[in-house]
Amino acid sequence: MRDLRAIIRVNAEAAADAAKRGKVPFVCSIREVDAMQTFPFPYLEDYVPRGWMRADKEWFVDSSGFGTEDEPALTAQQFRESLREYIAAHPGSGFAIVEAGQFQVYVAAFERDVA
């Protein structure tokens, strides 16, 4: 089990790496969501790439594959269902992991910043 300092360090390193590599949120279609076997989302942490802004939607998701529907973190299937609904209402949105623990992640929605 990771301690809090290790999680904070890993998350800070992820943000720096995302900025250095020019990572951007992953844009996907509903069809791509249906085919997802893993988490294809980049790990941005608190980095927001130029041309994007973080939306007000995020999901707490089990990333271990062993979560159950009665736990606080969404299972992969629950997450895909919610993601389908979000994409239907917000086409062109991007998605990225913004926080990661040992067994769960937060995935946030991003919108293109047209300003």
What confidence tens digit (pLDDT) does each residue in 77-97 have? 999 999 999 999 999 999 999
Domain that holds residue 61: 4-112
Domain count, the chain: 1
pLDDT along the chain (115 residues), means of 10: 74 79 91 87 92 97 89 94 96 94 93 85
Instruction: Report the residue count for the chain.
Output: 115
Q: What pTM, to 2 d.p., does this model score?
A: 0.85
pLDDT at 18: 78
pLDDT at 9: 80
pLDDT at 62: 95
